[in-house]
Chains A and B, each alone.
Chain A
Amino acid sequence: MTDTTDTTDAARTTGTAGTRVRTVRSRAAAPSPAAARPSARERGTRLLAALFLAPTVVGIVVFTVVPIIGSVVLSLFHWNVIDPPGWAGTANYRAVFTDSTVLVSFRNTLVFMVFAVAAQLLIALALALTLNGRMPTWLRSVFRSAFFFPLVLSAASISVVMKYLFNQDFGVINWLIGVFGIAPVPWLTSEHGAMATVIIVYVWQQFGFSFLLFVGGLNNIPKEIHEAAALDGATGLRKHLAITLPLLSPTLLVASVVGIINALQVFEQPYVLTDGGPGDSTRTVVMVIYEKAFEQLRFGEASAVGVLLFVLIMAVTAVQFRLSRHFVHYQ
């Protein structure tokens, strides 16, 4: 009875289930000092765990945390590689916020992200659902390999080939549609066409990853649930909307988080296909970082843009996880 009272009090105070459980545990079974001390076996296990984790932690610290801190520090300096760095304060941030190219690149990247991720998830989901149906195993394997194949190719190499294929004057694609009497399309030479083409190439290469996740997610859905739904009279679309999608929502969350983070960092495809053009229409944030650093020798400004991109990615990911509470269902 004491527990129940405590739970109610805690719930009133905190209003969250997680805190409630912690409060109950802490009051119901407060460990004695002797019990809190881990046994030799536990210490050994912890030591072993720490040993196994150490290489990864060291790797993350050296190759992720240190560069992030380095970028933040560098964003507060003027540095052109050649001369010693000089203190800039917030000047680099002021410069990038008034640089129209930077602002356009953020807009382009967000537009790219929305269309590329949406297309990637929809195509991958549709194909995964299709392949999950009745189909000979060998044919399913062929399709899976075919869809995954572009992902293992180099994005730069693919983009070089695609540049030939989509060339307005000499490309195979315009030649093919010309056979049907369609006028040549300015795939890479008009503002909207160029962005659409970059998205097409990117999605073609990337959807294999989401596809594999969805195939794995679909395999994890127990058949019994579908069979029970069928007994209750659920059919095709209804079954997918009421059962498949909710149970696939954790996979959908992972696919969308990874997809968005990747899309926000897109570089190779627009760099090779269009070099950011026509005008600035396909210039992305990472392209701007590269150009500012290695072409214009403004490493401080490049770092400032990098920091802003980092903040954007963190913010978008946090929003996704926050929203996921409403649509992700775990079995």
Chain B
Amino acid sequence: MTDSHLSRRALLRYGAYGAGAAALAGTAASWDRLTGSDIPGRDDGSLVVATLGSAFSPDGIRALVTGFRRLHPDIKVRINAVQAVDWPDFFAKILTQIAAGTAPDLVYVATEGVQLFARHLGVALDPWVRRDAAELKEYFADVHPSLVESMMYEGSLYQLPIEFNAADMYVNTHVLERAGADLPADGWTRDDFTALLRRMKKANDSHFTPYFWTNRLWGGVVPWLFANGTNLLSESKAPGGSWLWDGFYPAARRQGRGGGFRWTTPQATSGRVEEAYDYLAALIQEGLCTRPEGGNGQNLIGVFSTGRVGITPAGGFWAGGLHLAGMRDGGFDVRYFPRWRTQRHQFGAAGYALLRTSKKQDAAWEFIKYSARLDTLTELFSTNQTTPARRSMLTAARYRETGPAHWRVFYDTLDSFPDTGPIPAPPQVAEVTQVLLKHTGTALASPRSVRPALRRMQGDLEQAMERDT
């Protein structure tokens, strides 16, 4: 016979199970626990500002927030310092946040991402800039127009540049002394550069590398393309922008300015590009420089500061880094990039981009304006971790402790070479960067591999540029 009723014992057992489960559920429900809403500032109406974690010191961030709150007590601010290896890594993390529905209001964006953000996510700052023109006159007077132009896209301004770095050349002066060479002159040429590398190599042992460079968009092969009077993609200027130039810059300084850069047709197979790659391949073959994959920025300070490298391309950001690494200001100096067909330099700038998903756009604009103020930047960049976009901040006092002796080079790169331009970074920048790095590695494997690798690079670049992001 089948018993369809529960026995008393079974009933008691199930009762105990039920009571236990209810007790567990109750305990779990009442337990203090962290959720997404416990993250400070989340969903509390704060203006969320995403920065590259390593860009600002904790003290700098604290000063930025407290200073802004003093001026705007009604606006809550939360800085989201995203830890990332480099700009592409940073952008990937920001896009992940956007995909997750936790998009920040403002994002610190460098040249690499200006057009990507402007095209898809950004809000043009034009109306606010026009509205607060009187307030901003002092700012624009202090900032080189090249930097401002690099933040424009199709005639509109998307960011106020607050820092930049041009690819100049750092020289280890101890290595220079060992080689019995003088500091290069301002107008040194590519041949002078090669001769200096040879002298350095001769004066050192086999573990010494005269020229160290990193395979990346900034400071890699592109400065050599610029010096040889070419670029990875054909470069032109978008129309427009006169609303800004006419309003803020005198005639002499606004001449030739447009509505931002356009990088369109790939030209990897052009003669001058090939020439630049051949030159680098020859340096590698002669043992005068690192292979592209061999060099990486992570150990660069170590090998440079200990005299195992003579020369490397870097910007003002390196002065602070070398000082922190224990190098005295006399141990290194900075020169312009050598002249080839031109002495045009490459630079990258950064500022805050306002996202169109932001519901606090007016508050965000106030933050952008505040972040570009002289006193704000002075406090934020007190440790020489970058080159400020404001000319007035580059003073002897600023570099007295860290060096280098020729600190004027940093801003003079823009003044002395007016054609100095930004990294080629169209909206398809991620693919362009990947293609460049990939084929540069292959191209420089041997002198004979340059041409086939550039042909493949051209094909891949054409494919990348045809695709819409």
Taking Cβ atoms with an 8 Å cutoff, the residues of A that contact B are 34, 37, 39-41, 44, 48, 51, 80-83, 160, 163-164, 167-170, 175, 178, 186, 188-191, 194, 274-280, 291, 294-297
Contact present for B308 and A170 (CB under 8 Å):
yes
B438 engages A81 (CB within 8 Å): no
A99 to B: closest C-beta gap in Å:
9
Question: B431 to A296, Cβ gap below 8 A?
Answer: yes
Interface membership of B430, Cβ < 8 A: yes
Task: Kindly identify, within residues 58 to 96 of chain B, every residue whose CB is under 8 Å from any CB belonging to chain A.
Answer: 88, 91-92, 95-96
Minimum CB–CB distance for B303 against chain A, Å: 5
User: Whole-angstrom distance from the CB of A192 to the nearest CB of chain B?
Assistant: 11
Contacts of A296 in B (CB 8 A): 430-431, 434, 469
Contacts of B7 in A (CB 8 A): 40
Q: With the chains together, A48 CA to B13 CA distance in Å?
A: 11
B442 near A278 with CB under 8 A, answer: yes
Contact pick for B299, options A51, A80, A164, CB 8 Å: A164
B120 contacts chain A at the CB level, 8 A cutoff? yes
Does chain A have a CB within 8 A of B291?
A: yes
Inside 8 A of A37's CB, which chain B residues have their CB? 2
CB distance from A158 to the nearest CB of B (A): 15
Q: Give A278 to B291 CA distance when docked, in angstroms.
A: 10
| Beta-carbon contact of B441 and A278 below 8 Å | yes
Distance (whole angstroms) from the CB of B209 to the closest CB of chain A: 5
What residues on B are CB-neighbors of A178 within 8 Å? 206
Alpha-carbon gap, A190 to B296, bound state (A): 16
Majority SS of interface residues in chain A? Answer: loop
**Residue of A37, A39, A275, A278 ringed by the most chain B CB atoms within 10 A:** A278
- A40 close to B10 (CB less than 8 A): yes
Contact present for B291 and A163 (CB under 8 Å): no
Judging by beta carbons under 8 Å apart, are B88 and A295 in contact? yes
Produce 1/0 per residue, B113-141, CB < 8 A to A: 00000001100000000000000000000
- Interface contact A188-B3, CB-CB below 8 Å: no
With A81-B99, A170-B207, A175-B207 known to touch, is A44 a contact of B14 (CB < 8 Å)?
Answer: yes
Q: Once the chains are docked, how many angstroms separate the CA of A183 from the CA of B445?
A: 17
Residues of chain A within 8 A (CB-CB) of B437 are 275, 277
Rounded to whole angstroms, the CA-CA distance of A325 and B430 in the bound complex is 48
Closest to B295 in A: A169
Contacts of B21 in A (CB 8 A): 51
What is the bound-complex CA distance between A190 and B442, given in angstroms?
9
The chain A residue sitting closest to B459, CB to CB, is A100
Count A-B pairs with CB separation below 8 Å: 92
19 further A-B contacts with Cβ under 8 Å, apart from A274-B293, A297-B430, are: A37-B2, A40-B3, A44-B13, A44-B14, A48-B17, A80-B469, A81-B98, A83-B120, A168-B290, A170-B207, A170-B209, A188-B293, A275-B293, A275-B437, A277-B442, A279-B441, A279-B453, A296-B431, A296-B434
Given contacts A44-B14, A175-B207, A295-B434, contact A168 B291 (CB under 8 A): yes
Closest residue to B121 on the A side, CB-wise?
Answer: A82
Q: List 17 A-B contacts (CB under 8 A).
A: A34-B2, A37-B2, A48-B17, A81-B95, A169-B207, A170-B308, A188-B293, A189-B294, A194-B293, A274-B293, A277-B293, A277-B442, A279-B441, A294-B96, A295-B434, A297-B95, A297-B469
Given contacts A34-B2, A80-B469, A277-B438, contact A170 B293 (CB under 8 A): no
Interface residues contributed by chain B, number (CB under 8 Å): 41
A170 CA / B99 CA spacing, docked (Å): 40
* Interface presence of B298 (CB below 8 A): yes
CA distance A305 to B10 in the complex (A): 53
Contacting residues, chain B, for A48 (C-beta < 8 A):
17
Q: How far is the CA of A118 from the CA of B21 in the complex (A)?
A: 48
When distances are taken between beta carbons in the complex, the residues of chain A under 8 Å from B344 are: none
Residues in A with CB closer than 8 Å to B431 are 295-296
Shortest C-beta distance, B413 to chain A (Å), equals 28
Chain A residue numbers with a CB within 8 Å of B299 are: 164, 167, 170
Cβ distance A37 to chain B, nearest Cβ, rounded Å: 6
A170–B96 contact, CB under 8 A?
no
- B6 adjacent to A40 (CB under 8 Å): yes
Residues of A near B390 (CB, < 8 A) are: none
B262 contacts across to A, CB distance below 8 A: none
Cβ of B439 < 8 Å from any Cβ of A?
yes
Report the Cα distance A193→B469, complex, angstroms.
Answer: 34
| Cβ contact within 8 Å between B2 and A279 | no
The complex places the Cα of A258 from the Cα of B291 at a distance, in Å, of: 37
Q: Which 5 A-B pairs have the closest CB atoms?
A: A278-B441, A279-B442, A294-B92, A295-B430, A277-B441
Complex Cα distance A275/B47, Å?
35
What A residues does B296 contact at CB under 8 A? Answer: 163
The winner among B7, B121, B294, B442 for most chain A CB atoms within 10 A is B294
Given contacts A44-B14, A81-B95, A294-B92, contact A169 B294 (CB under 8 A): yes
Query: Residues of B contacting A274 with CB < 8 Å?
Result: 293
Complex contacts, A186 vs chain B, CB 8 Å: 291
- The smallest beta-carbon distance between B161 and chain A, in angstroms, is 24
B295 to chain A, nearest CB (A): 8
Compute how far the CA of A37 lies from the CA of B469 in the bound complex, rounded to whole angstroms: 61
Also in contact, A169 and B445, with CB within 8 A (given A80-B469, A164-B299, A279-B439): no
Q: How close is A54's CB to chain B, nearest CB, in angstroms?
A: 11
The distance in angstroms between the C-alpha atoms of A160 and B206, with both chains bound, is 25
Closest to B4 in A: A40
The minimal Cβ–Cβ distance linking A24 to chain B, given in whole angstroms, is 27
Give Cα A170 to B88, complex, Å.
Answer: 26
A188 vs B13: C-alpha distance when bound (angstroms) = 65
Nearest opposing residue in chain A for B5, CB measure: A40
A188, B7: Cα distance in complex, Å = 72
CA distance A278 to B437 in the complex (A): 9
Question: In the complex, are the beta carbons of A190 and B445 less than 8 A apart?
Answer: yes
> Chain A: which residue is nearest B443 at the CB level?
A279
Tell me the nearest residue of chain B to A95, going by C-beta.
B467
Cβ A82 vs Cβ B207 within 8 A:
no
CB-based contact A280/B469 at 8 Å: no
Q: Quick one: closest A residue to B209, CB to CB?
A: A169
| Chain B, Cβ-Cβ closest to A79 | B99
